[in-house]
Structure 1
Amino acid sequence: MDTQNLTTFIAVAESGSFTQAAEALHLSQPAVSKRITALEEQVGQPLFDRVGRQVSLTDAGRTLLPYAKKVLQDLEDGRRALSHLHEKVAGRLSIGTSHHIGLHRLPPVLRAFTQQYPEVDLDIHFMDSEVACQAVLAGKLELGIVTLPTQPLPHLQQRAVWDDPLSVVVAPGHPLLDKPRARLQDLAGHPAVLPDEATYTHRIVTRALQQHGLVPRIRLATNYLETLKMLVGIGLGWSVLPDSMIDGSIRRLPIPQLALHRELGAVWHERRTLSGAGLALLGSLESDIRGRMAP
């Protein structure tokens, strides 16, 4: 079967739309329809039901979909395995990372990496860590540089790179700063702005608070830590943020009972053969670890 036809079939199946698949593949809609028709002729059965604007998989389409994905993944693994035969590190490397890591952790690593491997084309996607992990598992990304999952995910390999201490933070002038020694229970009387509940960071924070019997009064939640920092700075509520983000616009509020941290690092699919570029980037991350541990 033609791999282009299989790629198009998967795009239509995942989007449920010939139009969206055409946009994602940078093709015209007639070109997408032509590829699907050719594939249907090959398998001898219709793969999609087209009722009005609705597109859904037939039984044959649902049966073919996992095999189509496996064929394309196996071909990609074969290309990566062949790339290991050459000393030259080149080609496209698709990675996903969060905005926070992209701003605060990755720049020096990527600067050194691109200088050492100028023929690697980095395809960087900024997204939530949770979404990046799922994209790696789905085979859409080769690597994720993310907040590591709080619980192991099946088939997802991970390597810790940075320990990321977290602290309770408030705006300058927040009434809790006037207390000689703020207690954890004091937070209950003030509104909070926290990471979105779908994020690993939210789970880390709320689990630690619940262990002390504290249920925060959440005024607002968002998955962008830079936005949370701004909201804290204007006095909308307290939050828990990485120590690396603390500057003059917000203040750390020491809470002796609370010691929070998360781990940032790399994830990849255990069944995926990493390209030479992917292995090289993991090596660059390891170098960053060694550089920080050196006396």
Structure 2
Amino acid sequence: MDTHSLSAFLEVAEASSFSKAGERLHLSQPAISKRIAALEAALGTPLFNRVGRRIDLTDAGRTLLPYARRVLAELEDGRRALSHLSGAVSGRLSIGTSHHIGLHRLPEVLRSYTQAYPDVDLDIHFMDSEDACEEVAQGRLELGIVTLPRDPPDALRMQMIWVDPLSVVVAPTHPLLREPEPKRLPTLKALAAYPAVLPDERTYTHRIVTAALQAHGVAPRIRLSTNYLETLKMLVAIGLGWSVLPRSMLDDTLVALELPELVLSRELGAVWHRGRTRSGPARALLDLLAAAR
């Protein structure tokens, strides 16, 4: 039994798909199938039921799963601990981050990092912050650079890096800006009468916005949801609804509304697993992120 076969088993079990497991491990589907077959032969029992396109764990597979997770996690911790002995910052660092943070916050940090530590192999995955936190909690990624959850899972530790102020935004042609008394500030009640475009309800940003509105007895009337902030910006600019976006994204295609009773922000930062050893590359990146505050 080798770790490559165990890694393939774990990926197939979590994705319920040989092809998706291959994508995660950068292997072909036949290569994944070969590793699973070798593991099943070594153990003398099938690990998956294969019925059409459906893949489920057998009783043996379900029994093996927690042991495989522990073995691979311990080996990864050992690798990270050994990396501290030499003092050299090298090896693979797997990171999950959102598209917005990747576009607007990380470029300068990662440029400095790659120049300072050329022997680190950065493995960057772009995904929703919520998914990145889950991947770190499950041990599949070492670090997440994300919108920080207000109620983090027990498995995660967090480091706040940036405060990200948010603004309620509309198109320059939005009806709220054509009120008969242009000097009068719009109210939250007036805003809620118009459709909104927001991230979907499972996102941390959505929860921040709706909780703030609910504190004033207001609920948004959501027309469309998407988790890509650049797409939300476009939808607002063409007049499909109002939204809440980071102030760093404001330009002449948007108008930020003055709503004194609604002060919004979110925290961006790093998350890592509480029970896992941080590698040298991870520690070095966390130090650079702290300096970027």
Q: State the TM-score, normalized to the length of structure 2.
A: 0.93
Q: Which residue of 2 aligns with 1:292?
A: none
**Change in CA separation of 1:107 and 1:25 when aligned onto 2, cut-off 3 Å:** closer
Residue 29 of structure 1 deviates from its aligned partner by 4.8
Residue 47 of structure 1 deviates from its aligned partner by 1.8
The count of aligned residue pairs is 289
Q: Which residue of 2 aligns with 1:259?
A: 263
* Pairs within 5 Å for 1:128-277: 128-177=128-177, 178-277=182-281
Question: Structure 2 CA distance, aligned partners of 1:194 and 1:27?
Answer: 36
Q: Which residue of 1 aligns with 2:37?
A: 37
Question: Structure 2 CA distance, aligned partners of 1:210 and 1:166?
Answer: 17
Q: Which residue of 2 aligns with 1:73?
A: 73
3-state secondary structure, aligned to 1:115: helix
Query: Which whole-Å deviations, capped at 9, do the CAs of 1:27-66 have from their partners, x for residues lacking one?
Result: 4555444433332343333322233443321111101011
3-state secondary structure, aligned to 1:85: helix
Question: Structure 1 CA distance, aligned partners of 2:174 and 2:97?
Answer: 33
Residue 217 of structure 1 deviates from its aligned partner by 1.4
* Pairs within 5 Å for 1:1-16: 1-16=1-16
Q: Percent identical across equivalent pairs?
A: 68
CA RMSD of aligned residues (A): 1.7
**Change in CA separation of 1:119 and 1:23 when aligned onto 2, cut-off 3 Å:** closer
Question: Structure 2 CA distance, aligned partners of 1:166 and 1:214?
Answer: 18
Query: Which whole-Å deviations, capped at 9, do the CAs of 1:65-123 have from their partners, x for residues lacking one?
Result: 11101101110110110001122211111101111111111111111111211221211
3-state secondary structure, aligned to 1:248: coil
Question: Structure 2 CA distance, aligned partners of 1:246 and 1:29?
Answer: 44
Q: State the TM-score, normalized to the length of structure 1.
A: 0.92
CA contact (8 A) 1:183 1:256 kept: no
**Change in CA separation of 1:185 and 1:23 when aligned onto 2, cut-off 3 Å:** closer
Instruction: Mark the runs of 5 or more structure 1 residues left unpaired by the alignment.
Output: 290-295
Question: Structure 2 CA distance, aligned partners of 1:30 and 1:101?
Answer: 35
**More off after superposition, 168-177 vs 138-147:** 168-177
**More off after superposition, 31-40 vs 276-285:** 31-40
Instruction: Mark the runs of 5 or more structure 2 residues left unpaired by the alignment.
Output: none
3-state secondary structure, aligned to 1:83: helix
Question: Structure 2 CA distance, aligned partners of 1:226 and 1:28?
Answer: 33
3-state secondary structure, aligned to 2:86: coil
Q: Which residue of 1 aligns with 2:85?
A: 85
